[in-house]
Amino acid sequence: MQNQKCKGMQDLLPEDMLRFRRIEDVFRVCCRNWGYQEVRTPTLEYLYLFTATGTLSPSMLSKVYSFLDWDGWSGERVVLRPDGTIPVARLYTNNLGGKELARLFYVTNIFAFEGTGRENRERWQCGAEFFGGARLAPDVEIIILAQEVIRRLGFSNIALQLSHAGLVKALLKELKLSPGMEAKMTNRILEGNWQALTKARSDNSEIERLIAALLSLRGKSSSFLHNLRASFPKASQDFKSSLKDLINITTLLDNLGCSYKIDIAAIQGFEYYTGVCFQFLAANKKIGGGGRYDRLVPLMNGKDIPACGFALYMDPIMELLPLKQDKRSEYGILVQGKELTPKIVKKCFTLAELLRDAGYPAELDFLGRKESDYRWVILVSGKESSPFTLTDCVRCQPRYIGATIAEILKAVSEV
């Protein structure tokens, strides 16, 4: 049969949705318990929301689904939401800007073109954003919250990698590249080509050593950062202050018993990060990431409100998540009409409604299917006196011909 699905789009089948809802449910419960409130942003946003420096990187911008909508005579282009954080920052600035502090979360799809059409062009993510508040505590809060969600989903071997956008920016500045070269280098780094940094020639050999150290060493505690500070005393003030910020955060994480690796390359392809950045890996796949982005709200003409957040990527998580089978065989009830007569149909519907009202799922069937994965099958006949025959499919007890409704309810409640 001809495949009529759009290239790069995905269908979520019942098994996928079981996984999807499990992730969503765990995520929602955790966020609510931490005091976050759910929001939802529109699928269409204006392109200009994403074009300013410090929002999406050029390589991401070249993959947005942008077009003119029905009002496009004014030339204003719109996009299918290419990122989760920027629209939520807009939502906060437009509607909640007066609030000093806002904890928000969302479950959303984002759209990005992908050349081969084999990978998804529509991706789902669960994200949480923390607007306002003091420094450090929110950074730690979102990391621990993300970890809690992942843990509750049943993942154990999770790697947490930490980086800091301020460190990277300070390093780039110290290379003293021309503005054009610096922009190019930033783009390369955002695309994941960190080795480009080592190829940049610098007059300052200390910077070269610092870059080499940051790219090759993986610290596992704040001590590593203290060592770094002691080894490179001549580093710039910007570098030192970002390092101090990261030391403060890692110290808090150390005290909370949170293990991590410091990996300067652990920054996703977003320009908007200004402070600590992190990502989570499971089975070598990135399953989430986030960081601090203090410039985004002011960039949207909002107040000078600092912010940070994270997103978990549903697609890789769904692939890794074991499927918990539907528990139909434990408590599922099939109400089966012997024939399709008005009398039997009425009896079936009435019985099923009684069962559902009592809190049991009850499925109807008039085709005489031989289904095996229900716990109970109740055959409904046209007999006036004893219309119901109850079968316990698990215990393989003899059929109970002539069961009353009260007896049926009693039997199914024993599960």
Beta strands in 201-268 (DSSP E): 261-262
Pick between residue 23 and residue 172 the one whose CB is nearest to another protein. Answer: 172
Q: Assess 94 for contact with another protein (CB under 8 A).
A: no
Binding to another protein in span 110-129, by CB under 8 A: 115-117
Report residue 74: phi and psi, to 5°. -80, -5
CA angle at 108 for the pair 102 and 113, rounded to the nearest 5°: 125
Q: Which of 33, 37, 62, 255 binds another protein (CB under 8 A)?
A: 62
- SS3 at position 180: helix
Per CB under 8 A, which region of 58-66, 93-101, 348-356, 376-384 contacts another protein? 58-66
Give Cα separations from 390 to 397, 398, 400 (angstroms).
10, 9, 5
How many Å is the maximal CA-CA distance in the chain? 98
Q: Which of 75, 233, 257, 359 binds another protein (CB under 8 A)?
A: 75
Minimum CB separation of residue 53 from another protein in Å reads 5
Q: Which DSSP category does 306 fall into?
A: -
Q: Assess 384 for contact with another protein (CB under 8 A).
A: no
Minimum CB separation of residue 52 from another protein in Å reads 4
Give me the amino acid identity at 391. T
**SS3 letters across 359-411:** CCCEEEECCCCCCCCCCEEEEECCCCCCCEEEEECCCCCCCEECCCHHHHHHH
Pick between residue 115 and residue 342 the one whose CB is nearest to another protein. Answer: 115
Q: Which of 12, 39, 61, 411 binds another protein (CB under 8 A)?
A: 61
Q: Among residues 8, 6, 21, which one has the least CA distance to residue 318?
A: 21
Q: Assess 72 for contact with another protein (CB under 8 A).
A: yes
Torsion over CA of 196, 199, 203 and 206, rounded to 10 degrees? 80
Q: Assess 53 for contact with another protein (CB under 8 A).
A: yes
* Residues comprising the chain, all counted: 415
Minimum CB separation of residue 225 from another protein in Å reads 32
Pick between residue 60 and residue 252 the one whose CB is nearest to another protein. Answer: 60
Q: Assess 178 for contact with another protein (CB under 8 A).
A: no
Residue owning tokens 């695309």: 191
Q: How many positions of this chain bind another protein (CB under 8 A)? A: 20
Report residue 221: phi and psi, to 5°. -155, 175
Q: Assess 70 for contact with another protein (CB under 8 A).
A: yes
Pick between residue 69 and residue 414 the one whose CB is nearest to another protein. Answer: 69
Query: CB under 8 Å to 96, separation ≥6 — which residues?
Result: 102, 131
Pick between residue 9 and residue 137 the one whose CB is nearest to another protein. Answer: 9
Q: Assess 51 for contact with another protein (CB under 8 A).
A: yes
Q: Assess 71 for contact with another protein (CB under 8 A).
A: yes
Q: Which of 12, 52, 354, 411 binds another protein (CB under 8 A)?
A: 52
Q: Which of 15, 25, 38, 76 binds another protein (CB under 8 A)?
A: 76
Q: Assess 177 for contact with another protein (CB under 8 A).
A: no
Q: Assess 73 for contact with another protein (CB under 8 A).
A: yes
Q: Which of 10, 43, 66, 251 binds another protein (CB under 8 A)?
A: 66
Pick between residue 75 and residue 359 the one whose CB is nearest to another protein. Answer: 75
Q: Assess 41 for contact with another protein (CB under 8 A).
A: no
b (16+ CB within 10 A) / e for 19-54: bbebbeebbbebbeebebeebebeeebeeebbeeee
Report residue 32: phi and psi, to 5°. -60, -40
Per CB under 8 A, which region of 75-83, 85-93, 344-352, 407-415 contacts another protein? 75-83
Minimum CB separation of residue 71 from another protein in Å reads 5
Pairing of strands 101-111, 122-132: antiparallel
Per CB under 8 A, which region of 64-72, 214-222, 259-267, 301-309 contacts another protein? 64-72
Minimum CB separation of residue 164 from another protein in Å reads 23
CA dihedral sign, ordered 96, 102, 107, 112: positive
Q: Which of 48, 154, 340, 397 binds another protein (CB under 8 A)?
A: 48
Query: Within a 10 A sphere around the Cβ of 373, how many other Cβ atoms?
Result: 12
Pick between residue 295 and residue 347 the one whose CB is nearest to another protein. Answer: 295
First to last CA, the chain: 44
**Which positions lie near another protein, rule CB under 8 A?**
48, 51-53, 58, 61-62, 66, 68, 70-77, 115-117
